[in-house]
Structure 1
Amino acid sequence: MQIDLGGIHRVRKRLARGDIKTYYYAWRGGPRINVDIRDQKAFAAEFHRLTCFQAPERDASTISHIISLYCAAADYTGLSKKTKEGYDTALVRIKAKFGTMPIEALEEKGARSIIRQWRDDDLSGSPRSADLTMAVFTKVLNFAKDEELILRNPLDALTKLSSGTRKDIIWSDDQMALFAAVGPTHLVRAMILAKWTGQRQADLLKLTWLAYDGEYIRLQQGKAGRGKAGKRVKILVSAELRATLETIRDEQKARAEHPDPRKRKALPATILTTENGVPWKSGFKASWGAAVKDTARRSGETFGVTFHDFRGTFITLAYRAGVAIKDIAEASGHDEKECERVIRQHYLASGADEVIQKLESAGSYAAKSGEL
Structure 2
Amino acid sequence: MIEGVHFVRKRLADGVNRWYVYAWRGGPVVMSADGRKPSLTTEALERIAIARRDRDAARKPAPTTLQTLIEKWQDGPEWSVLARNTQKTWGSSVRAIQAKWGKVPLAVFNDTRMIEKVVDWRNERRETPRAADIGVTVLQALLKYGVQCGLLKINVADKIGKIYINGQRAEIVWTKEDLAAFEKAAGDKDRVVFEAVLFCSVTGLRREDLARVTWSAVGEYAIVKEAAKISRGRRHIAAIPRIPQLDDVLDLLERRYRAPGVDTVLVNSNGEPWNLDTLSKEVTRIAKLAGIVHVDSGGKGGTQRKRGKHLHDVRGTFVTYLMTETDLSDAEIAGIMAWSVEEVTRIRRIYVDDTARQIALGKRIARGLAKR
Q: TM-score when scaled to structure 1?
A: 0.68
Residue equivalent to 2:264:
270
Quote the offset at 1:162 in angstroms.
Answer: 2.7
Stretch of structure 1 that moved more, 90-99 or 329-338: 329-338
Residue 69 of structure 2 corresponds to residue 66 of structure 1: yes
Structure 1 CA distance, aligned partners of 2:335 and 2:69? 40
Cα offset, 1:176, TM superposition: 0.7
1:344 aligns with 2:337: no
The residue matched to 1:204 in structure 2 has which SS?
helix
Equivalent residue in structure 1 for 2:216, among 207, 210, 213: 210
Give the Cα separation in 2 of the matches to 1:352 and 1:214.
36
In structure 2, relative to structure 1, the CA distance for the partners of 1:230 and 1:345 (3 Å cut) is farther
Match in the other structure for 1:236: 242
Alpha carbons 1:63, 1:100 under 8 Å: kept? yes
8 Å CA contact 2:81, 2:230 repeated in 1 = no
Following TM superposition, by how much is the alpha carbon of 1:177 offset from its aligned partner in structure 2, in angstroms?
Answer: 0.7
| 5+ residue gaps, structure 2 | 1-55, 293-305
Displacement of 1:213 in angstroms is: 4.5
CA RMSD of aligned residues (A): 3.1
Q: Is the 1:168–1:345 contact (alpha carbons within 8 Å) kept by the matching residues of 2?
A: yes
Q: Which residue of 2 aligns with 1:90?
A: 93
Return the offset for 1:342. 1.7
Match of 2:313 in 1: 309
Deviation at 1:90, TM superposition (A): 0.9
What's the % identity of the aligned pairs? 22
Aligned to 2:119: 116
- 1:217 and 1:237 map into 2 onto residues whose CA distance is 11
Cα separation, 1, equivalents of 2:69 and 2:236:
30
Q: Deviations over 1:331-356 (max 9, x none)?
A: 54545443222212333244444565
Paired positions, count: 294
Report deviation, 1:303.
Answer: 7.7
Which of the two has greater strand per residue? Answer: 2
Code of the residue aligned with 2:311 in structure 1: it is F
Identify the match of residue 222 of structure 1 among 223, 228, 241: 228
Secondary structure at the aligned position of 2:59 is classed as coil
SS at match of 2:225: strand
User: In structure 1, what residue type is equivalent to 2:113?
Assistant: G
**Structure 2 counterpart of 1:217, one-letter code:** I
Match of 1:143 among 124, 127, 145: 145
Shift of 1:65: 2.2
Cα 1:246–1:151 change in 2 (3 A) is: closer
Stretch deviating more after TM superposition (327-336 or 341-350)? 327-336
SS in 2 for 1:316: helix
Deviation of 1:275 after TM superposition, in Å, equals 0.4
Counterpart of 1:39 in structure 2 is none
Change in Cα spacing, 1:85 to 1:267, as seen in structure 2 (3 Å) is closer
Q: Post-superposition shift, 1:204?
A: 1.7
* Structure-1 separation of matches of 2:209 and 2:96: 31
